[in-house]
Amino acid sequence: MVKLYDANAEILKLLSGTDVHVSIMVKNEQISGIASNEKMAEDWVRENVLVYYPDTKIRYILVGNEVLTYNNQKMWLDLVPAMSLINKSLASHNIHNIKVGTPLAMDIMGSSFPPSSGNFSSRIPNEVMVSLLEFLNSTRSFFFIDVYTYYPWSVDPSNLSLDYALFKGGNLTYKDPGSGLIYTNLLDQMLDSVIFAMQKLGFPNIKMAIAETGWPNSGDIEQSGANIYNAATFNRNLIKRVTGDPPMGTPAKPGIVIPTFLFSLYDENQKPGPGTERHWGLLNPDGTPIYDMDLTGALSEQDYTNLPQPLNNKPYKGKIWCVVANGVNIMDLEPVLDMICSQGNETCDELAPGRGCYEPVSIISNASYAFSSYWAKFRETGASCYFNGLAVQTTIDPSKISSHIHAYLARVIDRNVKKASFFVSNTLRKLKLDFSEIEKEFPNSL
């Protein structure tokens, strides 16, 4: 089964005549229009479903994506009306095997531990959640949830077992003091907290579906546990569970089938934000595999080739700087540098004439300083070392390169002097600096 985050015409055509089941999506910005206009709902179904169905096996229509995460109460109130009109349109065309739902994130939960204490967040009006549950219950659809064990583990790695988050806890178990249920992994705990929350609102029989789950294969230096070994371990163990026969379900709902979408097929190398945002894929952007993966669940662990051992499962305690990435176009740096330094937040004060970091006068040097300064100042409020793909983290203090050498090398690049490498290497040798090491850590300086 394939989940699309829109209703891409090209993909839906390519899947025509195959046995691949498909989930398509109504975008968030379309919800309010559809909710208030039955014709718009009908048009959406005609253009995105009827053109391809039944040759393309569309099985789910997801209305919006993590709608309740956004602080848009109009969209919250429009969600179920939009779902209802989409469902009404399907029924008018005698289509009854496409379920309508909406994927929500775990931030809808006010409490999730222990699972039996599960309840929905008080920030979400009761009328919004109850109307959604009434719709899902009456249409026998699924409660779609995006659930990632990586996030709670990464926030509290000292108290949460990594093996427990990766389905390899062995004899490690947790007994819920409220329900008496025994848990062997973190995913089941998180799913059951949603089940208990629905039960408390009077809906014990709504089926669960996992709209997104997975584990990042890489990330920023301080994002511990984001590596190929853990990603492959989580996803392989997950597939074993969801393809099991008979179905495993969860402790609160044993034996039930839980439709599950693995996120994601490809790494998203141009996605902004922290490093993990770009590294959830099974495949690289060019289509090559990041690690071996059998989606049927037939292969055992012994059937796979050895994985690279994890090197970052413990939190990183050292210092980190944010500098210009290797291979960037210098012309792209100036507008980003202007944006950072024009905000009046003292980020670039030290770059002013006569201040400590004025020398060397180089756009590369200035950008590296500005990136590090801005990131250090605002990382606690969500800033990342990305800057449109122009920045990268390093554990080596950029100031270790002497300022006059850095200035000389930066001028070489800025002027694009093609034969400078001979003079650069000679200068470095005279100063007894390791050329290869500096080039490795600061590629844009040489």
Same domain, 284 and 184: yes
Instruction: For residue 283, give the DSSP letter.
Output: B
Structure confidence at residue 441 (pLDDT): 54
Same domain, 239 and 175: yes
Structure confidence at residue 260 (pLDDT): 98
Q: Is 222 a catalytic residue?
A: no
Structure confidence at residue 219 (pLDDT): 97
Q: Give the Cα-Cα-Cα angle 181, 183, 189 (nearest 5 degrees).
A: 95
Is residue 166 exposed (0-12), middle (13-18) or buried (19+ Cβ within 10 Å)? buried
Round to whole Å and give the CA distance between 128 and 80.
8
DSSP for 318-346 reads S--EEEEPTT--HHHHHHHHHHHHTSSSS
Task: Give the pLDDT band of residue 350 (cuts 50, 70, 90).
Answer: confident
CA of residue 407 relative to chain centroid, distance: 39
Structure confidence at residue 417 (pLDDT): 46
Is residue 174's pLDDT more than 60? yes
- Residue 312 domain-assigned (yes or no): no
Domain closes at, from 251, 272, 303: 303
Three-class SS state of 392? strand
Same domain, 60 and 206: yes
Same domain, 211 and 285: yes
Same domain, 277 and 418: no
Bond before 125 cis per omega within 30 degrees: no
Contact assessment for residue 255 and residue 249, using Cβ atoms and an 8 Å cutoff: yes
Choosing from 42, 134, 212, 277, which is the catalytic residue?
212
Query: Tokens 């819920």 correspond to what residue?
Result: 176
- The closest alpha carbon to 139, from 97, 193, 199, 107, belongs to 97
Structure confidence at residue 150 (pLDDT): 98
Contact assessment for residue 442 and residue 433, using Cβ atoms and an 8 Å cutoff: no
Q: Give the Cα-Cα-Cα angle 167, 156, 210 (nearest 5 degrees).
A: 45
Structure confidence at residue 398 (pLDDT): 78
- Residue 363 domain-assigned (yes or no): yes
Q: Is 212 a catalytic residue?
A: yes
CA of residue 184 relative to chain centroid, distance: 25
Task: Give the pLDDT band of residue 446 (cuts 50, 70, 90).
Answer: very low
Same domain, 354 and 271: no
Number of domains in the chain: 2
- The closest alpha carbon to 203, from 113, 121, 139, 123, belongs to 139
Structure confidence at residue 349 (pLDDT): 81
Higher-pLDDT residue of 13, 427: 13
Structure confidence at residue 413 (pLDDT): 53
Can you state the angle between helices 420-430 and 403-414, rounded to 10 degrees? 170
Same domain, 22 and 96: yes
Q: Which two tokens stand for residue 219?
A: 């990330």
For residue 288, how many other CB atoms are within 10 A of its CB? 7
Structure confidence at residue 172 (pLDDT): 94
Choosing from 38, 66, 134, 439, which is the catalytic residue?
66
Is residue 312's pLDDT more than 60? yes
- Residue 316 domain-assigned (yes or no): no
Same domain, 284 and 348: no
Same domain, 154 and 45: yes
Q: Give the Cα-Cα-Cα angle 141, 142, 144 (nearest 5 degrees).
A: 145
Same domain, 36 and 154: yes
- Residue 314 domain-assigned (yes or no): no
- What percent of the chain has a predicted confidence (pLDDT) above 90? 77
Select the highest-mean-pLDDT range: 185-189, 368-372, 416-420, 433-437.
185-189
Q: Is the pTM of this model over 0.75?
A: yes
Domain closes at, from 303, 334, 354: 303
Same domain, 280 and 358: no
Which amino acid would we find at residue 315? Answer: P
- Residue 178 domain-assigned (yes or no): yes
CATH number at residue 198: 3.20.20.80
Q: In this structure, are strands 391-394 and 174-175 parallel, antiparallel, or unpaired?
A: unpaired
- Could you report the per-residue pLDDT of 34-75, keeping only the tens digit for each? 999 999 999 999 999 999 999 999 999 999 999 999 999 999
Contact assessment for residue 98 and residue 88, using Cβ atoms and an 8 Å cutoff: no
Domain closes at, from 303, 334, 364: 303
- Could you report the per-residue pLDDT of 84-98, keeping only the tens digit for each? 999 999 999 999 999
- Residue 315 domain-assigned (yes or no): no
- Residue 313 domain-assigned (yes or no): no
Round to whole Å and give the CA distance between 209 and 259.
5
Structure confidence at residue 431 (pLDDT): 47
- Could you report the per-residue pLDDT of 202-259, keeping only the tens digit for each? 999 999 999 999 999 999 999 999 999 999 999 999 999 999 999 999 999 999 999 9
Q: Tell me the longest C-alpha to C-alpha distance in the chain.
A: 82
Which residues fall within 8 angstroms of residue 432, CB to CB, at 6 or more apart? Answer: none
Round to whole Å and give the CA distance between 143 and 102.
7
Contact assessment for residue 337 and residue 370, using Cβ atoms and an 8 Å cutoff: yes
Same domain, 165 and 260: yes
Contact assessment for residue 62 and residue 21, using Cβ atoms and an 8 Å cutoff: no
Is residue 352's pLDDT more than 50? yes
Q: How far apart are the first and last CA of the chain?
A: 48
Domain ranges, residue 27: 2-303
Structure confidence at residue 412 (pLDDT): 53
Average pLDDT over residues 288-301: 94
Query: Tokens 């109307």 correspond to what residue?
Result: 131
- Residue 311 domain-assigned (yes or no): no
